[in-house]
Amino acid sequence: MFSLKSLANFFAKNKEESVLGVDIGSSSLKVVQLRKKQGRVVLETYGELALGPYGGAEVGQSMNLSAEQIIETLKDLLREAKVTTKSCGVSIPFARSLLTLVELPYRKNPDEQKTVIQLEARKYVPVPVSEVQLDWFIVPAETPSEDIALRGKVEVLIVAVHNDELKFLQNVIAGAGLTASFYEIEIFSTIRAAVEEPVKPVMVLDIGAASTKTYVVERGIVALSHAISVGSQDITRAISISGNVSIAQAEILKKEKGLGEGDFGSPELVFSRIFSEARRVLIQYEMAHKKSITSIVLTGGGGITKELDEYAKKVFSIDVHVADPFAKTEAPAFMRSVLESIGPEFAVAVGLALRKLEGV
């Protein structure tokens, strides 16, 4: 059920009419239901519920809830969003997975190459291989095959997810009365929904509640990934302190005022920490690969902060834009402005539903 190789085929046929993407985040649950109609992707419904209130905390705060509490939240969300399908794809948190790009010995024979990868992968997985679901993807080469054979090396993206994490998610999905056909690490869902550039290197800044995921995507492949231990809940706290308001009020101010209006210097300091480390990752990639990152995509809950893209442009001095995953769907014109404003939060759920819809 956990498969990375199937990322290579985004456009297989699917007989089901409606599909669901379920994003189980650290501070909220999000769902997006899509349907294929005459070759077009139609948005049927979407919804989000904060986990904080279910764990005795406020909206926007990262929570570590039990399976039973998440099941309760998910059931409420499915009901409130009026979800009509049981068939879904489910996100795996980046923090609960291992993702690494390594260079391994090249073997012309596919079976020999598979054996090399399986043996070498053990060096990168910090727990016994029997405790994880292991997968890999051989990165398509930029150079001709004879150059690869001469060099004797091939790049492989290795992915591992602990069995306990998969079991936890399976219990949640079953408890909510859903049926999952696949589980996918959130990075790949985000790429599918938010990255338009097919070849050149792009950096994605996924600003989640508890942390920020930074990764470079080149030719549709994750070439570099890094986690920053600062997220949107830190920004909310900063607004709460500097504005002397509650966490709930600060969450609203983050979306409505952001870095534009008002005296909210503290959140800018938090973003400065995030961007400083992201810039270090960017420079590291550019120096190692001798090529420039062409643009930055902002996504995740923190990505909806007003004026953030303009601030980021000043910091990075390259093109920066906010993800608009709902642009890949058909919806009533009057909803477009709302969907655009909330889009970054729903990138994972949209990406999951797109994969499910296309039968990958």
Contact yes or no for 162/29 (Cβ under 8 A): no
**Amino acid, single-letter form, for residue 245:** V
| 9 pLDDT above the threshold of 50 | no
Q: Name residue 63's amino acid.
A: M
Mapped onto helix, strand or coil, the DSSP state of residue 58 is coil
Report the CATH architecture of 5-96+163-357. Answer: 2-Layer Sandwich (3.30)
Kindly indicate the confidence band of residue 7, based on its pLDDT and cuts at 50, 70 and 90: very low
pLDDT in tens, 260-292: 555 545 677 888 899 999 999 999 999 998 999
Higher pLDDT, 90 or 219: 90
The dihedral built from the CA positions of residue 313, 189, 233 and 229, taken in this order, carries a sign that is negative
pLDDT range class, residue 66, cuts 50, 70, 90: very high
pLDDT above 70 covers a percentage of the chain that reads 90
Higher pLDDT, 58 or 111: 111
Contact 148, 319 (CB under 8 A): no
Contact 108, 170 (CB under 8 A): no
- Confidence (pLDDT) at 91: 97
Mean pLDDT over all residues of the chain?
A: 87
Place of tokens 């890949």: 328
142, burial (CB in 10 Å: exposed 0-12, middle 13-18, buried 19+): exposed
Residue entry with tokens 């979306």? 255
User: Residues of the chain with pLDDT > 90: what percent?
Assistant: 52
Task: Please name the amino acid found at residue 255.
Answer: K
- Fold designation for 97-162: Dna Ligase; domain 1 (3.30.1490)
Which residue ranges make up each domain of the chain? 5-96+163-357, 97-162
CA distances from 99 to 9, 224, 285 (A): 20, 9, 16
Residue 155 confidence (pLDDT): 85
How far is Cα 300 from Cα 136, in angstroms, rounded to an integer? 26
Dump strand ranges (E) for 51-92. 87-92
Could you tell me if 189 and 22 are in contact, meaning their C-beta atoms sit under 8 angstroms apart? no
Q: Which H or E run contains 236? A: helix 232-243
Is the Cα torsion angle 72, 74, 78, 81 positive or negative in sign? positive
**CA separation for the pair 357, 334 (Å, rounded):** 25
Which residue's structure tokens are 């012309």? 108
The arithmetic mean of pLDDT across residues 219-233, rounded, is 89
The pTM for the full model equals 0.88
